[in-house]
Copies of this chain bind each other. A is one copy, B any other.
């Protein structure tokens, strides 16, 4: 039974950082017992911006510094934890730690999704692993699952609800018929959305996570600049209601699907999903990731995607991993130089398209003809009539369209948009059949 203590340098002592401190205080003995003494963890340096700020947890004053690089350079630090966020100072910190041969634990999805190429190269060169369980889906151990548990599987698809803020907002729009601004305000009031909600609602937080999952699953770093991302800001209560009428829910879905010849389709957008799909039951700020392996078949991982306890729990799990393995082969190193992505215009699904139109004869005929000319089949329509007022103006028409490449749909819709009878741009949602 080895009893070496691993010294930890913590960069950032906000919600997650102080959560890590608390877990180690509370369960240090348990963690050591469970790991047969091979993971005795001690926080030896904590870098913060402002020493005077009040903290959740009361770590001894002598551990604190305002010099970020001290958490790397202190010889008592064996493992560096990066929890400061952002992609600049965090990059320098992580790069310095790797160059010093110190394993890194980080929850920073943006950093790895955008600058992973440089960092994983440093990780490989200096044989220092990067652990990032906390970067994807908070407390859900999806990194470990994809990397270790599915190691013997080709990963056919990953479908995730991995942004709790968006999921909460969409759910409130569905349940309570709220508009986007009202639901966002509610999420902020409850602390489910940050002061600056941009990355949560524009899809990029989820997309960063999907990029990491896809990179892990397929062995090459997916270039974030080539990933299709749409947010939930423009989702309307009307489309959510129509979705519900039709047996669907609207969810911000992140998908990584292996297509023919190993090309990867990766995209994040609000999509229609059958109310009966297990992911449709993921409510509130919870996250879930469905993974399909060629031998494993379908699996699902569900839990809290954010918050102090869940995220700190993942950091601690990574710390144990780092402490137990001085060997560098535990972190992720891309094993393919590059891979092929499917162009977004080539990706095929069924679609929901809503046209806002003027009520005049010929409107449906005109739109339907254009779709027909582009060989896009209509599988259903939805334009409910007010029972008490059947002669009210006909203004919203929904077509459900058979599966076709997105590019083909766009070409057809560009033609439809030129029609006089349209009062707004068509609204498109993909219908996902996972």
Contact = CB atoms under 8 A, between A and B. Distances in A.
Interface of A: 2, 19, 23-24, 27, 30-31, 33-39, 133, 139-141, 144-145, 147-154, 219, 278, 281, 286, 293-304, 307, 309-310, 312-314, 316-317, 320-321, 324-325, 327, 329-330, 333, 335-336
Taken together, the copies of this chain in the complex come to 2
Given A27-B153, A297-B303, A297-B307, 20 more contacts: A23-B153, A23-B295, A24-B152, A31-B152, A33-B219, A34-B147, A34-B335, A36-B335, A139-B296, A140-B299, A144-B144, A144-B145, A148-B317, A293-B309, A295-B313, A296-B313, A300-B300, A300-B301, A300-B303, A301-B302
B317 A151 contact: yes
A123 to B, nearest CB: 11
Given A145-B141, A281-B278, A302-B278, A34 B297 contact: no
Nearest to A24: B152
26 contacts: A2-B329, A23-B152, A27-B153, A30-B152, A30-B154, A31-B151, A33-B219, A33-B336, A34-B151, A35-B151, A36-B329, A36-B335, A145-B145, A148-B317, A150-B317, A151-B317, A152-B312, A152-B317, A153-B313, A278-B281, A281-B281, A295-B309, A295-B312, A297-B309, A298-B304, A301-B302
Given A34-B335, A335-B34, A303 B310 contact: no
Contact of A302 (B2, B154, B302, B317): B302
B281 A296 contact: no
A29 to B, nearest CB: 10
A35 B413 CA distance: 47
A124 to B, nearest CB: 9
A151 B322 CA distance: 13
Contacts of A39: 151
Contacts of A309: 293-297
B297 A304 contact: yes
A309 B33 CA distance: 34
A333 B33 CA distance: 9
Given A30-B154, A144-B144, A316-B151, A310 B297 contact: yes
List of 6 A-B pairs having minimum Cβ-Cβ separation, nearest first: A152-B316, A299-B303, A141-B149, A295-B309, A33-B335, A300-B302
B310 A304 contact: no
Given A152-B316, A281-B278, A329-B324, A297 B23 contact: no
A262 to B, nearest CB: 11
Nearest to A302: B300
A327 B324 CA distance: 10
A395 to B, nearest CB: 37
Contacts of A31: 151-152
A4 B368 CA distance: 64
A329 B36 CA distance: 6
A241 B150 CA distance: 39
Residue in A2, A31, A301, A327 with the greatest tally of chain B CB atoms within 10 Å: A301
A226 to B, nearest CB: 23
A183 to B, nearest CB: 22
Contacts of A33: 219, 335-336
Nearest to A278: B281
A305 to B, nearest CB: 11
Contacts of A295: 19, 23, 139, 309-310, 312-313
A314 B37 CA distance: 26
Nearest to A143: B149
A12 to B, nearest CB: 18
Most chain-B CB neighbours within 10 Å: which of A33, A34, A149?
A149
